[in-house]
Amino acid sequence: MTYQIVGAPFPVVICELEAGESMACQTGAMAWMTQNVRMKTNTGGLGGIFSRVATGESLFQNRYTAEGGTGTIAFRAEAPGEIIALEIHPSKSIIAQKGAFIAAETGVNIEIAMQKSLGAGFFGGEGFILQRFTGNGVVFLGIDGTVVDYYLEAGETMVMDTGTFAAAESTVSVDVEMIHGLGNVLAGGEGMFNTKAVGPGKIWLQTMPLSSFAQSILKMLPKR
């Protein structure tokens, strides 16, 4: 499989599949494809259903296979932003925000990543249940706004606004912490909690979480 990511701020990833190669994707992610690419919808069993519902994905998953020769298929993001491609292998897995998954090679497994801290679930913008990608292959994730990445050394910490976290290598610990000072909480306009990522490992941040974008639009709408 080869690919190219094009378009901004509404990107697509265009994948070229060899005969017999397959891609799995979130339902509704397919934008276009050549006639010889065939679709098959499945649930992946009860475990697959639970994982997708819990992490914000749809109940079903589509698999596309090129038949009789090379085929082309394009997948799109759900919101304005970017698409990033991450290589997964047995020694490197990735955790990501709920709903980030767009498509992946069929050697990539999608699992639930439970956070150790209950605080991360109740207050963190990334949610208590994250997606974990393991196995072998490339996974494509949707990023709201622009992606900014950092590598954190062991023990190095990045504190971010709720919802800014997009993805991280699984060696990174992701949690939430309460903002200190009642005045800061009440007047700071940043809510009660920030998300905290502790290295070692790489993190990917997003500049405009979809929830923040929606709130900014609502503020501009006329009030009745």
| pLDDT tens digit sequence for 49-60 | 445 455 455 556
Q: Which amino acid is at 53?
A: V
Element (H, E) at 142: strand 137-144
pTM of the model: 0.82
Burial class (CB in 10 A: 0-12, 13-18, 19+), 131: buried
Q: Confirm if 193 and 128 have CB atoms less than 8 A apart.
A: no
9: preceding bond cis by omega (within 30 degrees):
yes
Residue 112, CB-side half-sphere exposure with 13 Å CA sphere? 18
Q: Mean pLDDT in the chain?
A: 82
Reported as a single tens digit per residue, the pLDDT across 169-218 is 999 998 877 765 444 444 444 556 788 999 999 999 999 877 665 666 66
Q: What is the DSSP letter of 188?
A: S
How many of the other CB atoms lie within 10 Å of CB of 145?
A: 20
Rounded Cα–Cα distance for residues 62 and 74 (Å): 13
Spatial CA neighbour of 68 closest among 19, 134, 118, 15: 19
Which domains does the chain possess? Answer: 2-220 (3.60.160.10)
